[in-house]
Amino acid sequence: MKMVFEKRKNVSIGAQFLVPIISFLISLLLSGIMLAVFGSNPFTTFAAMFKGAFGSMNGFSETLVKAIPLMLTGLGVALAFKLKFWNIGAEGQLTMGGVATAWVALFWGNGIQGPLLLVVALLAGCVSGALWAGIPAFLKTRLKVDETLVTLMLNYVAILFSEYLYYGPWRDPKGYGFPGSAPFPENAWLPRIAGRAHAGLFFAIALALILWIVLRRTRWGFEISIIGASPKAARYQGISVERTIMLTMLVSGALSGLAGACEVTGISHRLQQGLSLGYGNTAIIIAWMSQLNPLAVPFVSLIMAGIMVGGDQVQLMMGLPSAVGTVIQGLILFPMLAGSLFTEYRVRWIKADRKPVCVEGGA
Amino acid sequence: MKENSSQPLVTMKGICKSFPGVVANDCVDLELYGGEVLALLGENGAGKSTLMNILCGLYRPDSGEIEIRGQRVHIASPNDAQKLGIGMVHQNFKLVDSMTVLENIILGMKDQGFIPDMKKIRKKVLELSETYSLKVDADASIWQLSVGEQQRVEILKLLYRKAEILILDEPTAVLTPQESEELSKIIHRMRSEGKSAIFITHKMEEVMTFSDQVMVLRKGKVVAELPTAATSPKELARLMVGREVLFEIEKKPFSPGPAILELEKVCAQDDRGLAALKNINLNVRAGEIVGIAGVAGNGQRELAEVITGLRKVTSGSVKIGGKDLTNAKPLQVIKAGVAHVPQDRSQVGAVGDMSVASNLVMKEYRKKPLSTGALLFPSRISAFAKRLIEAFRISTPSTETRVKFLSGGNVQKTILAREITACRNLLIAVYPSRGLDVGATEAVRRQLVSQRDQGLGVLFVSEDIDELEQLADTIAVMFEGSIMAVLPGGSADVETLGLLMAGVQPSNSCDRSNS
């Protein structure tokens, strides 16, 4: 018997749903094996993780806290990936968003009164993230510079720049040497809805819906699909490829920038260390797991956030390293990537050929 | 010509091969005798190439047997095929551009030793090229050679490997008429040396001039096997398509209107920055089909791109409908009512990963009723697509099927349907019928003529002289980026056109061809 892969004529709806679910189950199995090797019972560990992340109001609100930036960056990355623009710089865009928001919140408070300060601060975060994503887009469309490297490297620039600010000029003089800016005035705080979970959740869900409609039902979304599939064809159809890439990347960056803006105004109320816990990188996994579908992003983000929070919980409760959560995240990605093969192809077993290379008689 | 009719050289018995969703070969039997030239005729997707790929070891049949000189064999790889004396010249040549002819000939041969004896090899290659009159410069690099010469290198390569059975996949598709004639001489020469050949084609004329025997395939099955002498192009066409084919297309009398396209002294460069268009002056009038004749790669693609805004002119002007659109953006040209059926269908003309419906609306989506402002209307899009699928007889399982799953002919019909619907002034069609079977070709040609009859201008690039003669009101011959001559459609004879396509001004070389 020999195994061959056949391209599917039509990607079946069933496979589109089943494959991610089965992939997820396989990753649980792999994680279970890993946990067993560590000497802990996988079932009780998973149960503890689940309980930690979703079992209590407190835990669930912490899961939401992590899910919000994941949703926003996940949407940003998914949008860029639709264009086959490999934006792996969501982390940097998030950070720059946080920086610009902090700038407005810290220094514009005298000029802008009331909740308007929050609005301006959030918008500044979006603009800043957009501009940060605009740099690789500009370099790509004008000079054909590879976007993967530029977005990746700009992450470090952004993170170091924010460190410079809160260790240097923006450091809180009353902060007892703690690395971070002064706290924002309260009119720049994002309202909270439950525990530490804040109103950023509504932005994320609304934007997921809007983006879904934009991609399916607008000319811009149609143009993005064509460019993603074949830039040459898009140009031939009269689509301005460069302009669409620029515009899309600005939106992609703005989404990640908003994630950073919500973090500083909703959680820390200041610019400080640990603005991002790798959200921008996890966003890449989320975009893939959602198969670039904006509607799937919030759900996948919730699962990933649950694993992060659950990982922290098992560290506290069972004495396992908190890296367990990170390892499980990684273990999710592999079956997922492998699984995408099965949505496009189906496996068929065929009879092996009689004999391999054999020339009877011959010339 | 059957010298040894007692035993066939090649026997294929009951060959079946299927791919997902298609039966490419359905119990095909084939016999080839020594010193015989067999034509394998059939439409696209009839299973010709599959059958030959099985014989040369690229595919393995699902069932069936192959015998060579009466011995049963399993051909598991091209290497096995080579050992049996079978060699194939593929449609896309498998040569290394930067290496010389000699190097390409021995490339991949395992018995050449660590340092090949180039003197001996050269001697043998020269002998072979002498015997078969395959003229080629053994030390030239491949990129310096014309397509015809490259083909000769491919044939030499097979002969050097002692191939007795040569398989040629649509060998004349890329040749000028003169080069095709050369090839026919070479094949006759090989036959007289006792070699056999199978060639794949969907052109009737070639069958008549090249072959002794013809086998017609339709939908994976053999529908006829006849001696060439006992048949006619008309009969073959009928066998191939399964119905009568009308070779004549009715046209309204030629009465051109005002100029729609005016090119003046247009110069442009190709992708490598070399001059691709040199001082092109050309007009297309309303109700006129201007045919651009020429061997592929003489600036035709660049010409179409310059008009459609996909390539910048370095000097000169492009006017469409009286409006200056020199170096305009593609969208401006589209808005001026220009439609373009591009040379590259899979990468440019159509988007394989998107649905038939999406591909059909890629021009009209900007307009009402398919969109208002930024918003698209999926239900109207799908209704629009259904209408086009019906009108242009595109055979597709549904509007949502991805285009990459359609056959070549249906991909082209999809592109044509979209472009013709969007066309309000000028239709530019670059090799629109290339690689299409008789039925699809006929449909494409009819569409071009109907555009003309409706008073639009048509600029039509082709390498097929018969097609040009049949459709074009005016023929312009391109060679190395220049227009060699502009002739009225009916008056030009094949020989004159052929010479012009090869860059020779017939008036200088021979007077008699001016009729």
Q: Which chain B residues touch A217 with a CB distance below 8 Å? A: 375-376, 378
Q: How far is B36 from chain A (nearest CA, A)?
A: 19
pLDDT tens for each residue of chain B, 515 residues long: 444 456 888 999 999 988 766 678 888 999 998 889 999 988 766 788 889 989 988 888 889 999 998 889 988 888 888 889 999 988 778 888 889 898 898 887 777 777 888 888 889 888 888 888 788 888 888 888 877 888 889 989 988 888 889 999 888 777 777 788 888 888 888 888 888 999 888 777 788 888 899 999 888 889 889 899 888 887 887 787 776 555 667 788 888 899 999 999 999 998 878 889 999 999 999 999 999 998 777 899 899 999 999 999 999 999 999 999 999 999 999 999 999 999 888 889 999 999 999 999 999 999 888 998 889 999 999 999 999 999 888 888 889 988 988 877 789 899 999 999 998 999 999 988 876 777 778 888 888 999 999 999 999 998 777 788 889 999 999 988 999 999 988 777 777 887 788 777 765 444 443 33
Q: What are phi and psi of B491, to 5 degrees?
A: -85, -25
CA-to-CA separations, B355 to A222, B231, B411, in angstroms, rounded = 12, 43, 11
Q: Cα B144 to chain center, whole Å?
A: 22
Q: Which chain A residues touch B378 with a CB distance below 8 Å? A: 216-217
Q: Tell me the mean pLDDT in the region A279-304.
A: 92
Report CB contact under 8 Å: A217, B363: no
Report CB contact under 8 Å: A353, B350: no
Contacts 24+ apart (CB under 8 A), B372-378: B374/A218, B374/A219, B374/A220, B375/A217, B375/A218, B375/A219, B376/A217, B376/A218, B376/A219, B376/A221, B376/A222, B378/A216, B378/A217
Q: Tell me the mean pLDDT in the region A289-298.
A: 92
Place of tokens 């409760």: A317
Categorize the per-residue pLDDT at A5 as very low, low, confident or very high, splitting at 50, 70 and 90.
Answer: low
Q: How far is A15 from chain B (nearest CA, A)?
A: 17
Q: What are phi and psi of A85, to 5 degrees?
A: -100, 110
Report CB contact under 8 Å: B351, A10: no
State the pairing for strand pair B457-462/B426-430.
parallel
Q: Give the pLDDT of residue A229.
A: 93
Categorize the per-residue pLDDT at A348 as very low, low, confident or very high, splitting at 50, 70 and 90.
Answer: low
- DSSP track, A325-349: HHHHHHHHHHHHHHHHHHHHEEEEE
User: Looking at the predicted structure, is the pLDDT value of residue A160 above 90?
Assistant: yes
Report CB contact under 8 Å: B347, A219: no
Pick among B69, B348, B403, B411 to test the A interface (most A CBs inside 10 A)? B348
Q: How far is A343 from chain B (nearest CA, A)?
A: 14
Report CB contact under 8 Å: A218, B68: no
Report CB contact under 8 Å: A353, B344: no
Task: Kindly provide the ipTM of the predicted complex, given to two decimals.
Answer: 0.82
Q: Tell me the mean pLDDT in the region A324-335.
A: 77
Residue in chain A lying closest to B9 (CA): A363
Structure letter (DSSP) for residue B33:
-
Report CB contact under 8 Å: A360, B71: yes
Mean pLDDT, chain A, rounded, equals 87
Smallest Cβ–Cβ distance between B76 and the set A221, A237, A356 belongs to: A356
H/E segment holding residue B300: helix B300-308
Q: Give the pLDDT of residue B510.
A: 41
Place of tokens 């994503």: A133
Q: Report the C-alpha gap between B275 and B480 in whole angstroms.
A: 9
Structure letter (DSSP) for residue A64:
H
Q: A80-102 pLDDT, tens per residue? A: 999 999 999 999 999 999 999 99
Residue count of chain A, please give it.
363
Q: Give the pLDDT of residue B514.
A: 39
Contacts 24+ apart (CB under 8 A), B278-284: B278/B480, B278/B481, B278/B482, B279/B316, B279/B482, B280/B316, B280/B481, B280/B482, B280/B483, B281/B483, B282/B476, B282/B483, B282/B486, B283/B259, B284/B259, B284/B260, B284/B426, B284/B457, B284/B458, B284/B459
Q: Which of B146, B63, B134, B65 is nearest to B105 (CA)?
A: B134
Q: What are phi and psi of B222, to 5 degrees?
A: -80, 125
How many contacts does A have with B, using Cβ atoms within 8 A? 113
Q: Tell me the mean pLDDT in the region A184-196.
A: 92
Smallest Cβ–Cβ distance between A355 and the set B74, B363, B366 belongs to: B74
Domains and CATH numbers, chain B: 10-241 (3.40.50.300), 260-337+426-433+457-515 (3.40.50.300)
Q: How far is A245 from chain B (nearest CA, A)?
A: 17
Q: Report the C-alpha gap between A221 and A212 in whole angstroms.
A: 9
A332 or B427: whose pLDDT is higher?
A: B427
Joined tokens for residue B434: 């290339």
Q: Cα B363 to chain center, whole Å?
A: 26
Q: Tell me the mean pLDDT in the region A123-141.
A: 97
Q: Give the pLDDT of residue A353.
A: 46
Query: Across the beta sheet with B10-19, what order do the strands follow?
Result: B22-32, B10-19, B63-68, B71-73
A309 or A75: whose pLDDT is higher?
A: A75
H/E segment holding residue A228: helix A219-229
Does A240 reach chain B within 8 Å, measured CB to CB?
Answer: yes
Collapsed DSSP state (helix, strand, coil) of residue B138? coil
- Cβ atoms within 10 Å, residue A40: 17
Q: How far is A247 from chain B (nearest CA, A)?
A: 15
Q: What is the percent of chain A where pLDDT is above 90?
A: 59
Which residues of A, range 204-223, sit inside 8 Å of B by Cβ?
Answer: 216-222
User: Looking at the predicted structure, is the pLDDT value of residue A139 above 90?
Assistant: yes
Q: Which chain A residues touch B72 with a CB distance below 8 Å? A: 360-361
CA-to-CA separations, B54 to B9, B57, B69, B93, in angstroms, rounded = 16, 5, 17, 18
User: Looking at the predicted structure, is the pLDDT value of residue A55 above 50?
Assistant: yes
Pick among B17, B22, B74 to test the A interface (most A CBs inside 10 A)? B74
Q: Give the pLDDT of residue A231.
A: 93
Q: Give the pLDDT of residue A9.
A: 58
Smallest Cβ–Cβ distance between A361 and the set B71, B351, B358 belongs to: B71
